[in-house]
Every structure is written in C-alpha cells, then in structure tokens.
Structure 1
Amino acid sequence: MQQCAAAAEAPAATDRAALLDRMRGALWGIFIADALSMPVHWYYSVTDLKRDFGEITDYQAPKKRHPSSIMSLSNTGGHGRGGQSGKIIGDVINHGKHEFWGVPNMHYHQGMVAGENTLNAVCARIVMRGIAANGGKYDPTLFLNDYVSFMTTPGSHNDTYAESFHRDFFKNWAAGVPPERCALGTEGHNTAQIGGFVMLPPVIMAAVAAAARASSSNGIDSTAAAAAAQAVTHLRTTHDSNKLVAVAERYAQVMTRAVLGEPLRPLLEAEAKRLRFSPAELAGKLWDDTNIVHSVFGSACYIESSWPAVLYLAWKYSDSFEKAVLSNTNVGGENCHRGAALGALMGAAVGESAIPPRFISGLAASEDIRKEIDAFCAAVLPAEVPVEQPAAAV
C-alpha cells in the first residue's frame, strides 16, 4: 500500500490511513476538477455551455470552436493581449501550437482528449515529481530547473494555451535572464489570478508532512504557518505578485487545517468573514450557483473574484467532492484553475475515499498520476519514520 503518515492524535494505523487518505485526496482533486472543466474552460455564457455540452457530469473532449475564446487577441510573445508575431508560443514553449492562437474562436485546449489536464495542472505534476525525487523536500531551485526543462522540451505536453505568467517567464528566460529572476517585475501583468494556486497543493502537503515527521511538534498553528511560507516561496518562482501572495497564504492555511482533520465549514466561514460575506446567507437566498458565481463574485480568473467563489462552493458542498467540482465546472468562467484550487481543498477535507472512482480512472493520465502520487507520499512520509500530531492551539 502507498505510504504516507498521519498527523493524528496518535500514530495508530487507522490515523495514519486517515491522513494518507486526505493527502491523496488533495492531490487527486487538482487533476480531477481541472480535467472536468477543460472542455468548458472560459465559457462565460452558461447558455453556450449547455448548448455545446449539456449538464457536464463526467469528462468530455473540447469542441474545436469556442464561442467566447479570445485567444486570438492574446500575445504570443509575452503577457496579456497583443499580436501573434512573437514566437515564445511555438518556438520556446507550447511547441507547434502558435498557428492556433490567431484563429478566431479557437478552443484554448483544442486537440485534447476527455480527461486530459491543462498546462497548469500538468505543472503541478512537475512539482510532485520534483519533491518525490528530492527525498520529500521542496526546493525552489530544483523546481525551476525542472520547470524550464519541461516547458522547453517539444512534445512534453498537449495544451495549446499558456497563461500570461508562463509567457512572461519564458520571454525573460529566452532573453538570458536566470530562472530565479524570470518572474520578477510582473505584478500587474495579469499575474494575480487563481491559476497561480494550481501548483501549491503538493508544496503544502510536503510542508505538512515535514511537520508530522519532526521529532517534536509545535502545533497546528505553526504547521499552517510553515505550509503558508513554503507555498509563498513556490508561488514567487512564477508569480511576482504581493496581491496574490496574501491570498495564497490564506489558502495554504485553510488547506493545512483541512488535511489535518479540522472541520471544513468553520474554516471557510472564517475566511469568508475576512472578505465580508457569509456563505450561509448567500445559500439562504436560494439563488443558483451560476447567479452567485457570476453576479455576486465574478466568474473570471482574477483572485478577488475566484477566491470567494472557491470558499462559497466548498462551503455549500462541504460534504460532497462530486457536487462541488461539478458545480464549479457547470457555472463556467475560469473553472479549470478555480476548480483545481477547489478540488484540492475538497480532497483535503473529504479524502480520496470520498472521491467517485470514475473521476480517478477516467483521467487520461490516471495511472501515471497514481504512480506519481504514490511516489510523492512515500517520499514525504516514509513508513519507517515516526510522526506526531500537531497539537491544537489552546
């Protein structure tokens, strides 16, 4: 059996299994929610979504035509909008995909198959593999080496679109900037987006595991703070955004407490209170999820819209991974990256055992991802290493 350890009341086998279940759930959640949303990523009209796909309940392949795609307006030589004369897309990264960017209404993920993951989720696998190969420890320099190698290797992935942060990073890299400096100066370059959270769950899990295997535990608060700090370290390798960092710290804190077994709803309510809204009050209005996500929060990628949407959907469906991720998919908008963040949080709360098996087996790379999750867990918490439960604050 795969090996992770439990930060639990005592290192009993059942408690070790409980944390293993939640850690694995968090990792699977990234890929499941992303792949479910891939065919309808950035569908801002739910009418269009339902016309093209109906109510999505499982993995589907994208249509070639995307009714609200603006990829043809995106800059292939750097961040944001612009022309297609630049060849960062095509020559440096996303090899062979440049020709698709200038075509009106081209799907962002054209050519992908049902259950396939988008680029940011694929990059989360780079993080997992790197931590596993490094004996369970996260190292930002090793990540950057792996990231550059992967992204600049033709055929390493099948996605057509790459977010602004990827394009900015490799514009700088191609100009000779060292990898550790390639993200600097990009605040405001469409950087403060939920896409920056997709790679964070493995980094957070590694920090939780490090605290669990320490000879003495300093408590859940300390563990959550350490996980948040490590998440920020990783985020800054690709996103130079203080605005995004502030929210990433909160995301890491909530996920840490969830994977250590704290009830999810109170955590979400506390975060929502910081943002001056009540999930319970919104749910009590009997509005559907589409109205709440689009009209109350906003369905776009910007973190000020997407983070409260994650909190709301996780609160409403706190006992159902399936309902949470499917609702996220079917409301449209920036549902892939918002979904990956939501799916990881839900998986951390309910565990792998509460995820419908079809969502795991239906992933296009299911067996490879399973092996990578197994290797990650075995590396971050080897079976022979004793673990301790972080004590709750008193």
Structure 2
Amino acid sequence: MPDTIIQQRATGAIMGAFIGDALALGPHWYYDLAELRHDYGEWITTYTDPKPGRYHSGRKAGQLSQAGIILTLMLRSLVEQGEYNEADFCRRMDKDLFPFLDGTPMGGPGGYTSQSIREAWRRRVEQKLPWGQTGGHADDTEAIERTLALAVRYAFRPTELATTVASNTRLTQIDDTVISMTVAYAAVLGMLVRGHALDKTLSGKLMELVKTGKLPFHAVTFADLQPPRPGDPDPPRVGRFASPDALLTPSYMAEAAADPDIRIDPAWKVSIVYGMPCAIYHQLPAAYYLAARFRDDFESAVLHAVNGGGQNQARAILTGALVGAQVGFPGIPQRFLDGLDDSDTLKGLAMDLATQIDNPN
C-alpha cells in the first residue's frame, strides 16, 4: 500500500478520535435517553454546548474534553521525540495537566477528570509516588483514548505497539484484563491503519501475530480455534496476557454487523445491547460493531455512537478512530473538521505523526 494511503488512514484515525470526543462533549453521560432527547432533540448531528451544571459545563461546542487534551499531549510527545518516550510523556502530564487538577471529578481541564486520572494524580501529587506506582483499578477506556496514538505510530511494528501501549496503560490502570483489552484495541486499530478490513477474518490475522510471538497473548488453541490434539505441546503459545479473547471480539462484532438475521435498529441502540456504562467491556463491543457496520460511513458511525447516550464520549472516540482509519482522512466530512476547535493544529499533529510511521513494505 502506498505511503500516502497509509498516512491518510493514520490521520483519519487520529482526527476521528478528536471529532468523536468533541461531538459528545455536550450530550455526555445521559443515562436517561428521554432527558437526552429533551435537551438535544431526537438526533444530534453536530457539536453542541454542554448544558449548565452537567459534565464539561463551561466548555463550548467543538472543544475537546480532557480525554482529547491528554491525547494531544501524547501526540506532541510522539511528534517531538520521534518515538514513544515515556519519561517525556510523564513530564508533560506533570507539567501540563496535573497542576490544574484538584482530585475532584468535575475539576480540571476539559471540565471532567476520569477516575483513573484522579487516582494517578493522588498517587503522583499528594503521595509523591514515582511514575510506575501511579496506576489504579479503574476499568474504563481512559488509556485507550490516549494510546490509540501509539497504535497508529507503531501500526507496522506490533511488538512495539503492544509493549508501548501496555507500558503507558500501566501508568494509570494496572488491571491485567483492562490492559489486555486496551492492547487488543490498539492491535485492531493498527491493522486498520495498515489496510486490513474489520471483518470476520481480522481476529485470525491477529492470532497469527500471537502465534509468531509478535503479540504477547496466551494462545490456548490452534488454527480456527480448534483444540489441541493428543500429543500436541501445551500450551501452543504462552504470553503476557492470560487469554486471547480480547483479540477475538472484533471479528465476532463484525460478523454480527454483517449478518442479515442480526439487526440492531436503529444502530444507536447498540448502547443498550452492550451497555451504556464506561467500563471497557461495555464500550469495546459497541465500538467494534459500529465501526464494522459503518466502515465506509464516518458520519453514521460517530453519530450513532453519540446518540446512544451513556458514556457516549468514549464510544465515539473509539468508534471515530476505527472508522477514521478505514475511510482515511479524505473520508471524514468537512463539516466535522470545520466545527472542531483548533482543527488545523490537531490536523497538523496527526499528519506529522502519520509521516513517522515505519512501513516496511
């Protein structure tokens, strides 16, 4: 695949994440869908102001939440360092984010601070612990929302992708299941940047990377998920993570999206099927489903993610990155770029990162 196409996919992934974040800024965290429709109408189509007294109150339509702000810090670090430099990223968190937090949910840049960032702030600022001892047990997608930039940067180097994503995730989240699901999402996004389809074959391709030692998951089965035969070695592959199931989820979701006998209509109800909360095991199936169903339609994918309510910001960030990688930057409607605050700066960072991707082909 020509480098220009790869760079378009990479830029599309990053800008898709930013757009998803900003689109959900206003209608974030409405678990009562009737209230959501009352405040924002039957169908949200664009950027909106948060209502007074709600999450991100005081921010304006098109601006980023704290998730987008942290993703920007990650991008700046990657672009300026030329690679992932954990000390540099941590320095930026110490300098550009933590001084502006107070440990409360509704404080800090972006108008809301997630549980995992609050816990890291307490350990780092109040308890004076070093980075590496700052992670907590929050089970949200907060780490995905920044490490998706690492997935793009190391799309053609899956071992480094997994290593850097796992290491950065542990700065704020130390649960092995959360880390494995975060790495799995990054591996999926990396494959999409490389040009692979989000379909029923993708998980098999990821499992091949496991079996060749490029992804650090434990393989308990052989080809096509067949069990070991008598006399086969046990296990076929021992990895950092106990189960490869996080790598299998995307293809199951893609099959569900393609099966005419399985319909979630309207598609925003994916939030009800898989759950509205912020936990990673609710968010990933919904994002994979929407990204597979609307693989060629960025607008439909992100708007269904937003209009599903609940933790729609994470859902839209994850979906936006996955679909942005599939349609490429030219496939993102211009109106979403026009309405995004500081769009030119964000686009510049995304394009700079895209030029750093190592493509061995």
Pick the TM interval, shorter chain. 0.7 to 0.9
- The one-letter code of the counterpart of 1:315 is A
Contact (CA 8 Å) 1:32, 1:343: kept in 2 or not?
A: yes
Contact (CA 8 Å) 2:23, 2:62: kept in 1 or not?
A: yes
Gap change, CA 1:171 and 1:318, over 3 Å in 2 = same
Deviation at 1:290, TM superposition (A): 3.9
Gap change, CA 1:26 and 1:272, over 3 Å in 2 = closer
Aligned ranges for residues 295-374 of structure 1 at < 5 Å? 296-374=273-351
* Matching of residue 205 in structure 1 with residue 152 in structure 2: yes
* Matching of residue 120 in structure 1 with residue 77 in structure 2: no
Deviation at 1:154, TM superposition (A): 4.4
Aligned ranges for residues 90-239 of structure 1 at < 5 Å? 106-134=53-81, 136-154=82-100, 158-184=109-135, 186-187=136-137, 191-208=138-155, 211=156, 223-239=157-173
Deviation at 1:274, TM superposition (A): 6.2
TM-score (norm 2): 0.80
- The one-letter code of the counterpart of 1:183 is T
Gap change, CA 1:172 and 1:362, over 3 Å in 2 = same
Contact (CA 8 Å) 2:253, 2:292: kept in 1 or not?
A: no
**2:36 maps to which residue?**
49
Segments of 5+ residues of structure 1 without an aligned counterpart are: 1-7, 9-14, 65-105, 212-222, 390-394
Gap change, CA 1:286 and 1:24, over 3 Å in 2 = closer
- Quote the Cα distance in structure 1 between the aligned partners of 2:316 and 2:260: 20
Contact (CA 8 Å) 1:204, 1:227: kept in 2 or not?
A: yes
Deviation at 1:119, TM superposition (A): 0.1
Q: SS at the partner of 1:339? A: helix
- The one-letter code of the counterpart of 1:230 is T
When structure 1 is superposed on structure 2, of 341-350 and 154-163 the one drifting more is: 154-163
- Quote the Cα distance in structure 1 between the aligned partners of 2:24 and 2:261: 23
When structure 1 is superposed on structure 2, of 356-365 and 174-183 the one drifting more is: 174-183
**1:62 maps to which residue?**
50
Contact (CA 8 Å) 1:25, 1:355: kept in 2 or not?
A: yes
Gap change, CA 1:138 and 1:52, over 3 Å in 2 = same
Deviation at 1:225, TM superposition (A): 3.7
- The one-letter code of the counterpart of 2:98 is T
Deviation at 1:116, TM superposition (A): 0.5
**2:104 maps to which residue?**
none
- The one-letter code of the counterpart of 1:278 is A
- Quote the Cα distance in structure 2 between the aligned partners of 1:56 and 1:141: 40
- Quote the Cα distance in structure 2 between the aligned partners of 1:232 and 1:363: 30
* Matching of residue 388 in structure 1 with residue 353 in structure 2: no
Segments of 5+ residues of structure 2 without an aligned counterpart are: 102-106, 205-247
**1:245 maps to which residue?**
179
Calculate percent identity across the aligned residue pairs: 25
When structure 1 is superposed on structure 2, of 347-356 and 262-271 the one drifting more is: 262-271
Q: SS at the partner of 1:284? A: coil
**1:16 maps to which residue?**
3
Deviation at 1:377, TM superposition (A): 3.4
Contact (CA 8 Å) 2:124, 2:131: kept in 1 or not?
A: no
Aligned ranges for residues 216-295 of structure 1 at < 5 Å? 223-266=157-200, 267=202, 270-272=248-250, 278-281=256-259, 284-294=262-272
Deviation at 1:127, TM superposition (A): 0.4
Q: SS at the partner of 1:180? A: coil
Contact (CA 8 Å) 1:195, 1:338: kept in 2 or not?
A: no
Deviation at 1:360, TM superposition (A): 1.2
Contact (CA 8 Å) 1:140, 1:237: kept in 2 or not?
A: no
Gap change, CA 1:149 and 1:56, over 3 Å in 2 = same
Gap change, CA 1:158 and 1:283, over 3 Å in 2 = farther
Contact (CA 8 Å) 2:69, 2:110: kept in 1 or not?
A: no
Deviation at 1:198, TM superposition (A): 0.4
Contact (CA 8 Å) 1:25, 1:344: kept in 2 or not?
A: yes
Q: SS at the partner of 1:278? A: helix
- The one-letter code of the counterpart of 1:247 is M
Aligned residues: 311
Q: SS at the partner of 2:26? A: helix
Contact (CA 8 Å) 1:224, 1:257: kept in 2 or not?
A: no
Deviation at 1:317, TM superposition (A): 0.9
- Quote the Cα distance in structure 1 between the aligned partners of 2:254 and 2:14: 30
